[in-house]
Structure 1
Amino acid sequence: MNSETDKSSDRRRFIDSNKRDKVVRIISELATIMCVLMYVSYIAEIKSNLAGNPVPLSQPLTMMLDAILWTGYGWLKQYRDWPLVISNVPGIFFGIVTILTIYVH
């Protein structure tokens, strides 16, 4: 009787673990999409810079440095954290472009 209870408990933990893994995957995908959209929103800042209305340097510089750090962290982990890397690489690109367009308008 005790071994059947153990098997049932193990099965329940396995099912709970699978559900948790699915939820984590969904959250990871949504967070990746939202992060990329956040960086894509810098297109408006780039347009403003090119129109002769430069934005302050502090925001894009901070954003770019943050993206570099998170990309490096995700890349250097023992098991690469691809959602973290993928979602922050655009931040590096858009940060560089935004900063360059502050001075080239």
Structure 2
Amino acid sequence: MQVSPGTRARAFMRKRGRGVQRWMAALAEQWRRGLRQPDTRPFLTERTVMTLGWIATAAPVTMYVSYVDQIRLNLSGEKGSMIQPLATVVNCSLWAAYGFLRHPKRDWPIVLANAPGIVLGALSLATAF
């Protein structure tokens, strides 16, 4: 006979429900008082997060290198669209400002990842005219 997950959950709560409810209530009270912070990333270390941040910094920089070809085409007379470079400059400027103005610690991977987008997007936009 197959038992549905809902039936199993109800049986579990009947057997252990009061203890689980008390434990969750005590944990919520600790969080409310500030005695304990919820652990949202138990499997990630600070070093892993920093490494991921620097890898994520390199990824958009390689994307922005594609603007070099667009700039070359614009200078040779084959004008391209101005919408994509304009959107890139605005987007990268907002993200770089966010990373630079973040308090109490600046987020340098975000700033460095978006700086080439600002420069190359602005050059591509300037040569598109």
Report the TM-score, using the length of structure 1 for normalisation.
0.77
1:21, distance to aligned residue in structure 2 (A) = 1.6
> 2:74 matched to which residue of 1?
49
What stretches of structure 1 move > 4 A for 4+ residues in a row? Answer: none
For 1:81, the equivalent position in structure 2 comes to 107
- Structure 1 unaligned segments of length 5 or more: list them: 1-15
1:94 has 2:120 as partner: yes
Shift of 1:22: 2.2
Superposed CA deviations along residues 32-81 of structure 1, whole A, max 9, x for unmatched, are 01111111211011011111111110001001100000000001110100
Name the residue aligned to 1:8.
none
Matched residue count: 88
Match for residue 88 of structure 2?
63
What is the TM-score normalised by the length of structure 2?
0.63
1:22 counterpart = 2:47? yes
Higher RCO (C-alpha under 8 Å, 6+ residues apart): 1
Q: Report the residue type matching 2:115 in the other structure.
A: V
- By percentage of residues, which structure has more helix? 1
